[in-house]
Amino acid sequence: MVITKKYLVFPVSDFVKVREIDFYSKDKLLDDIYIKLDYINPKYNIYYPVEKYKGLNIDVIIHPDINFRWDQTDEPDYTFVYNCPFRPKLHFTAAFGWLNDPNGLFEYTSKVTGEKVYNMYFQYNPYGNIGGNIHWGHAVSKDLLHWEQKSSVMAPDELGMIFSGSAVVDSENRSGLKSGEEDVILIYYTAAGGTNKLSENKKFTQCIAYSNDCGKTFVKYKENPIIQNVGNDNRDPKVVWCEEMQCYVMALYLKEGTSSFGIFTSRDLLHWEFLQEMVIDGDAECPDLYPIYVQDGERERKWVITAASGKYIICECSENGFQIIQQAMPLNYTLHSYAAQTFYNVSDGRIIRMSWNRDVFFPESPFSQQMSIPYDIVLKKKDNLYILCAKPIKELEKLICDKYEIKNISISENKEFKIPLKKSAYIISVGIAREKFENLTISFFDCAVNMDSANNQAVCGDKKIPLCVYKNTADLSLIVDKCSIELISSDGAATMTIPAICDYNIDSLVISSSSSAELDYLTVSELESVYNA
């Protein structure tokens, strides 16, 4: 068939197996995608962009073979995505399709308009609510809460699918890739060789793309890859400026099945040299690294390096490289929060971090997975121990539309505490000295969190986090959305995400205990939806 319009229309459902669709022109493979193509019981349509093939005669092969019907359109109809009862009120989700790791987070203020925007890219399948067909999706925000999804910026090619990476604002034009008035934006990503038919028999390599329009569109660097394969499935380059070494540094996961990360250096952002290998015991992939000053310290500067499941090491840096001064500790306590990254170039100096909330389930929805709430990161020091802490960003308070506060609450076996809740999102915070209780259960929307003083833990389902890490007060905050709970304890020293579908039929907050307990405070803050729905 000759391509005459911008999109091919594919009906899909959740109930058939994934099918491989190969596109050819004159026996040349143009692309291959994997979707749940279903002409018999379709649930909705997805739209495959073919404008670049306009005028070509395209052949399509489907594995396994099924009856195929050509439909083309210039105007996709995505109205179905806005009628989703389980779409979260607070967390970013793709309008349609699957997302996972956050990538290339940065803040940028336009040199032309003066507008400040946060950019978030992410691993993205635009053709279905399962993993695969990995592109880089894109969303922008002015406040880190209200996100507008834009067009995808990179699609798989002959080097592979577009796996995770990071972004740098090259304000000095060290790369020489700038054209125009705006600073050039560089994104570093893994070309995952062998993950699509176009890249058969190729290996994982590291590549660059660049933008001269504030991150809206990117051009892949003609000299890619910039780092050849250095190990089995090496991936996820994170690049930042290092003041101590007066160069850019890259952290790269070196080899599947290990906890090894490589540090590379560059002065022009294009040519990279291996410097050293580092180990984050018990963790792997998706490194993040950044300098940070100890809170309330006398300008004591350290470096933090984290891996995908939330373990972090503390380092010092000199002109010769990084030295680990504190071995791996956990910040996050479930794999439902994964692959966290921090924003580059934040103008007010804050360290802002977001992660993928994976395995959060949205029944019968055309989208899958969500991003976490953004967190402010600080480093504290207690008895010569460095403790990384994550607290929800202060901007979240702007969403508070109603607030209930009470102090000095007595709870006993025969005296529970109960207040009504609306069908909304909430921040629920409690504080209590450990000697004032043995156990306490907080129930809401048919979800329950137990605070266990004897074992120093908060438990939700089969998951648990410590209540107290460096002090003796058990403070616990819960960010409750339609399909998830994010738990933050010990002033942010421990975090945990739990998939949990809220049952709004059970519309009360109940605090109970099998023994006596004295709460110092309880705060229940209702939050407006960032989707205005």
Catalytic machinery residues: 101
On whether the CB atoms of residues 466 and 364 are closer than 8 A, the answer is: no
Q: Which 8-state DSSP code applies to residue 2?
A: B
On whether the CB atoms of residues 190 and 164 are closer than 8 A, the answer is: yes
Kindly tell me the number of DSSP H helices and DSSP E strands found in the chain.
Answer: 0, 40
Strand arrangement of the beta sheet that strand 517-527 belongs to: 400-411, 517-527, 425-433, 473-480, 484-489, 494-499
476 vs 458: CA distance, rounded Å: 8
Backbone Cα Rg of the chain: 24
Spell out the residues 6+ positions from residue 27 whose beta carbon is closer than 8 angstroms to its own: none
Strand arrangement of the beta sheet that strand 288-293 belongs to: 288-293, 301-306, 311-318, 321-330
**3-state SS string for 489-514:** EHHHCEEEEEECCCCCCCCEEEEECC
Query: DSSP secondary structure string, 193-247?
Result: TTSSGGGTT--EEEEEEEESSTTSS-EE-TT--SB---STT-EEEEEEEETTTTE
Query: Which among 382, 337, 343 has a CA at the least distance from the CA of 357?
Result: 337
172 vs 181: CA distance, rounded Å: 12
Strands 97-109 vs 367-368: parallel, antiparallel or unpaired? parallel
Query: DSSP secondary structure string, 63-83?
Result: ES-------EESS---GGGG-
Q: Which 8-state DSSP code applies to residue 372?
A: P
